[in-house]
Amino acid sequence: MKKGVSFLVAVALMALASSLASASDPSPLQDTCVAIDEPKNAGISLVTNDLITIFINLSIDGGFILFCKNPNLTMAEDFFYQGLNIPGNTANRVGSNVTTVNVDAIPGLNTLGISLVRIDYAPYGQNPPHTHPRATEILTVLEGTLLVGFVTSNPQNRLISKVLNKGDVFVFPIGLIHFQFNIGHSNAVAIAALSSQNPGVITIANAVFGSNPPINPDFLATAFQLDKKVVEFLQARF
């Protein structure tokens, strides 16, 4: 039985590897694929001739293999999240907080290709320049006034920017560096949907100046046309 499970899992992983040639989330193979990280929790059942039934629509999330929960065992809680009405703590250096509702928060999002975030901004707080490698983002302002924008790829590097007020909507294309800045005197709140169950985020300053291990400061000094001491100061900040 163990050999049968191992064989089926291996076949599933091979199928998954071929599907990963595409940059998008996996397409659903059944109505639901509630994410679980252990095949033993998938409702594996022994049937005739020692064959094993495994519910699979495998995906890789943050480096982890996600299997499907037996659809007959799914429940409302697998598709539910509570607390998005609660403001995030913006008492930090950038003055913002992102509350993420992805497949880690709602296992039922697995293979559905969508997730959600709530972003809270203190006055003059910002969601600093960052990119989502696996998702397009569509943002709606619920409260306040935001300056938002994204930068196109080389060689144009055009800044596409707009001031948004309550009820306004803006789209950030997949993979492009973008930002939001609260230009109002009061708190601001936005909700954004992203076209992946796990869009990922790369904050530019953190990645460049806070990498582990650090990038050689001589290299960064040349890349950014800065004095090496300035680079070392920035690396110490991150």
Residue 137 labelled as part of a binding site: yes
Q: Which of 60, 61, 62 is nearest to 13 (CA)?
A: 60
Give me 111's structure tokens: 């293979």
Residue 130 labelled as part of a binding site: yes
Residue 178 labelled as part of a binding site: yes
Residue 185 labelled as part of a binding site: no
Chain-centre distance for alpha carbon 146: 21
CA pseudo-torsion sign 121, 194, 14, 51:
positive
The rounded distance, in Å, linking the Cα atoms of 89 and 83 is 13
CA pseudo-torsion sign 185, 191, 197, 199:
negative
Residue 143 labelled as part of a binding site: no
Q: Which of 2, 87, 77 is nearest to 46 (CA)?
A: 2
Indicate the annotated binding residues. Answer: 127, 130, 132, 137, 178
Indicate the annotated binding residues for oxalate. Answer: 127, 132, 137
Indicate the annotated binding residues for Mn(2+). Answer: 130, 132, 137, 178
